Structure 1
Amino acid sequence: MKTFNESCLMVRRPSVELISYIKNINLNHPVHRFVLYGRKGAGKTCVMNHVMHACYRDNWIIVHVPWAGRLVRGWKKEITESSYKPGRYDVPADGAAWLAHFLHQNQGKLKDLKTTSEYVWTKREKAEAGTPLEEIINFGMTRIKFSSDCVGVVLKELRQQAQTKGLKVFVAISSVNAFFVEWDHVNTLRNAEKKKIEPEEMTIIHNFKKMLSPTWTHGVVVCTVSEVVNMETQREKYTPLYLLGKEGFEFLDPFVPILVPEYSEKEALSNIDYYIDRNWIQHDYGKTEEGKKEIMFVSNKNPFNIYRVCSSL
């Protein structure tokens, strides 16, 4: 998308299947959860983005975590103790970045939303009940110390108002297994005392897990699982049970698993023809029928591998 400066998505069977499920579910029931799985590079994130775009156009509010792995790794991040809950830790920069992302994705959809409770930040600062939700978001972006707590306020209000006002909330989390699995010792978050911070100790992850729990209505949860956020010793399989581990699987259960396979031959040819049309493939042999077959063979029709192979042609 960055190379061609345009956002094009292939309409694939998993996307159509998931969109049809969402259109026919009863929103008065606890949130339905779907998990997209498949081999690395098969297109799980693109399928999720396609479904997210369809829901956005249908006036859903989007709660999106582009890559959960970012929240649990990075030894250079500033870690602070939560002022709200002892034993929890905040990553102020991540909280502020997510608030900005949420505000950008939902422009024009938040103007009528106001808080239903009072929230006290300090002895001198508080947000009265009836404060516009956008004001809470802007407070968290400017007073970065409170960003993680502001994320919690926004998510809590969305859950409550989804049930009382009938809002439709679409939760999309890429690589959700990052919330449940152990990360390697090199990139694990640590506080000032070099103590290792577990995912369940982080305020922002604690708040996102509440969005995954079937304790609220008028929402849908779509997640992907990915090998890359697991330790290198835990990347042998790509199935949800293996990647989520016992804790993560039991937390999300019951959910609907949806396999995102490699391209079919028709899909692979469509992708290659798109690259030819955009001059991504410039070698004459790559434009022939024999060249296309060779690309599909060496890439095993995996979308990401096709991109890598074609980048050298």
Structure 2
Amino acid sequence: MAFNTLKVENFLRRVSAASIKKYATASEAVQVQEEPPVHFRTAESNPVNHTTQHQERFYTIPNDVYKKLYSGGGLPKEFMKQVKTFNECCFLTRSPTIEILSYLRNTNYNKPVNRYVLYGPSGCGKTLSMAHILHYGLATQKVLIHIPWAPNWFRHPKEVANSTTREGYVDLPIDAAAWLIHFKNQNSQLLEQLKLTTDKEYTWSLRESTPRGVPLMQLIDLGINRVRYASEIIIALTSELKEASIAGKCQTLVMIDGYNIFFTDRTRVFTDAKAMVLPDKVSLTIAALEMTKYDWCNGAVVVSVDQLAVGGKKESDLPRLLLGKAGFEHLDPFMPVSVNPYTDSEFYNVMDYFKDRRWVRNCDDEGLQELKLLSAKNGFKLMNLCAAL
């Protein structure tokens, strides 16, 4: 009898211990779920829902979106290194971005396109603001015509060839083919759904042509596989998308970073005779300027102007000076949106994010004030300063 009593007592003791552990674990789980989110982050990763309540907080870009949108460019190299180091891509939701997103939500797309120009000091976040807006374009199923950094075409052309169809023009065939790959990565899934086809017949040579009614993906693949035609195919592709937008078959979002390079008076594009070629004689410029005109609907245009696009030689960051007379008149009317250095709240949230990622350690209030003064709250300078700590 004593043995049985001992067994019962041991059994009850084990059950009691297991119950305590079970309820303790459940309590901890509830506590974790109810824990408030980190103040510098937002759990809302869909830019369609971003409003002023998400402002000054970081949101995380899903990995599949990151690869689809930015594998061909669109983010500063230093930022991409940071993404690799942190093992995540996060954007700070800033006031200029929220402003443009609100305009895009409330746009009447049946009217001629609105043009938005991001401007401000170099390093303050124009490119990242455009990357955020690009994510919005993907989320709202817009066809994306995205030129990540237009000055690359005119500063570091991979190859220069005389145009076979436009007298006095030059093509950048390798750069054009690379852009078509970028366009395909961003839009292939949507183009398959929309089933867009060519509305015209195109002749590329005596033996090669593209008939009317061919899927746009086939036209894109031709430009990728036949590099010599890539520049002309880009012109044809953008023209087809423009007409498709006017017809209401799709909505198109045009985004060009460093847009003022198209109106510069100096490039590193040279003919075989070593003569410098200005942007207006590069065939790719035709497509860029056509898509930023005011003569179409069911779309929007977002561009940035930057001193770095023209070598940082201008004395002002304002669009009028950076675009010049020709560029300003081409875009006018447009909505200028200023991208400024961080606010105090943004600065401290960025520093808290760096601390959370173990990028900055043991930074007291005095150190924060020093970083604020040294960087002047410029995002690029702050990132480099923290990397050097």
* Same fold per superposition (TM over 0.5): yes
Q: Give SS of 2:118's match.
A: strand
**What are the within-5 Å matches in structure 2 for residues 198-277 of structure 1?**
198-232=278-312, 234-277=313-356
CA distance in 2, matches of 1:122, 1:209: 25
CA distance in 1, matches of 2:249, 2:208: 31
Q: Give SS of 2:176's match.
A: helix
Opposite residue 97 of structure 2, the aligned amino acid is S
Counterpart of 2:207?
A: 124
State the Cα deviation string for residues 86-140 of structure 1 (Å, max 9, x = none): 1111010111011000001113011111111111111221111111111111110
Unaligned runs of at least 5 residues, structure 2: 1-82
Counterpart of 2:375?
A: 299
Q: 1:47 aligns with which of 120, 125, 129?
A: 129
CA distance in 1, matches of 2:117, 2:162: 32
Q: 1:130 to 1:58 in 2, by over 3 A?
A: same
The answer as to 2:172 corresponding to 1:91 is yes
Opposite residue 168 of structure 1, the aligned amino acid is Q
Asked which structure has the greater CA Rg, the reply is 2
Larger fraction in helix = 2
Q: 1:140 aligns with which of 223, 226, 250?
A: 223
Q: By how many angstroms is 1:22 displaced?
A: 0.8
TM value normalised by structure 1: 0.94
Counterpart of 2:13?
A: none
Counterpart of 1:312?
A: 388
The answer as to 2:105 corresponding to 1:29 is no
CA distance in 1, matches of 2:180, 2:336: 29
Q: By how many angstroms is 1:37 displaced?
A: 0.5
Percent sequence identity over aligned pairs: 36
**What are the within-5 Å matches in structure 2 for residues 62-77 of structure 1?**
62-74=144-156, 77=158
Counterpart of 2:245?
A: 162
State the Cα deviation string for residues 183-220 of structure 1 (Å, max 9, x = none): 2xxx6210111121110001111111100111111110
Q: 1:192 aligns with which of 265, 272, 293?
A: 272
Q: By how many angstroms is 1:237 displaced?
A: 1.1
Q: Give SS of 2:84's match.
A: coil
Q: Give SS of 1:63's match.
A: strand
Aligned length: 305
The answer as to 2:89 corresponding to 1:10 is no
C-alpha root-mean-square deviation of aligned residues, in Å? Answer: 1.3
CA distance in 2, matches of 1:289, 1:166: 55
Q: By how many angstroms is 1:231 displaced?
A: 4.1
Deviating above 4 A after TM superposition, structure 1's stretches of 4 or more consecutive aligned residues are none
Q: Relative contact order: is structure 1 or structure 2 higher (C-alpha 8 Å, sep ≥ 6)?
A: 1
Q: Give SS of 2:124's match.
A: coil
Q: Give SS of 1:291's match.
A: helix
TM value normalised by structure 2: 0.76
Q: By how many angstroms is 1:290 displaced?
A: 2.2
CA distance in 1, matches of 2:107, 2:256: 20
